[in-house]
Homo-oligomer: A and B are copies of this chain.
Amino acid sequence: MPASTTLSTAELRRPIVAAAALSEFARGGFHGTTIADVAREARISPAYVFKLFPGKEALFVAALEACFDEVIAALSSGADAASDQSPTGILDAMADAYAELIGDRRLLSIQVHAQSITHIPEVGAGLREGLARVTSFAKERSNGSNADVQRFMAYGQLCHLIVTAGVEGETQPWAEILTHGIRHP
């Protein structure tokens, strides 16, 4: 068992490529990102990407799953760190953690891109799966009412819109209405 330069197996490399795909798809979207982009980011050849994933769509779904893994982890540690452990206190802490998390836009962007290609069945299924995980986790961890959890999700979506549209750069009244009380990411 030579400790120094063990070749990474395909099994070990797959999640690395998925992470690279997350970054690249977040930047360019599904159609705007090439397999070559992902391969370059992952430091492998384009051809090898197809040995690790059956096609571009499966690669996108893997990236989306990696995104929701990170989201759940951030919500979890945010909830743990909440000073007020009441349901709404926990949901507020989760919202803060989420706003912090999407500061780099990667996790936000790929969700928006996924929304725009849900006509690909695997992507739609992957998005629903992620939503199920987030919603269920928020409900169970906070023990809040259904209405509280729904509001948490709705304002999360508003936050997505504010960031993707760049509303934060605006100073008019309409922008103030949308952004008021939203932690600026």
Contact = CB atoms under 8 A, between A and B. Distances in A.
Given A146-B180, A158-B150, A174-B139, A166 B116 contact: no
Q: How large is the interface on A (under 10, 10 to 19, 20 to 34, 35 or more residues)?
A: 35 or more
Interface stretch (A48-56, A77-85, A126-134): A126-134
A170 interface: yes
A153 interface: yes
B31 A167 contact: no
Number of copies of this kind of chain in the complex: 2
Contacts of A164: 115-116, 118
Given A157-B161, A164-B115, A173 B136 contact: yes
Contacts of A116: 29, 109, 112-113, 115-116, 164
Given A116-B112, A155-B154, A157-B154, A172 B132 contact: yes
A185 interface: no
Contacts of A132: 170, 172, 174-175
22 contacts: A29-B116, A29-B117, A30-B31, A31-B32, A109-B116, A113-B116, A115-B116, A115-B165, A128-B166, A128-B167, A131-B167, A131-B174, A131-B178, A135-B178, A147-B180, A149-B177, A150-B178, A151-B154, A153-B161, A153-B177, A157-B157, A157-B158
Given A128-B167, A136-B173, A139-B173, 17 more contacts: A31-B32, A113-B116, A115-B161, A124-B165, A127-B165, A131-B178, A132-B172, A132-B174, A135-B174, A135-B177, A135-B178, A136-B174, A139-B177, A146-B176, A153-B177, A153-B178, A157-B160
Interface of A: 29-32, 109, 112-113, 115-118, 124, 127-128, 131-132, 135-136, 139, 146-147, 149-151, 153-155, 157-158, 160-161, 164-167, 170, 172-178, 180-181
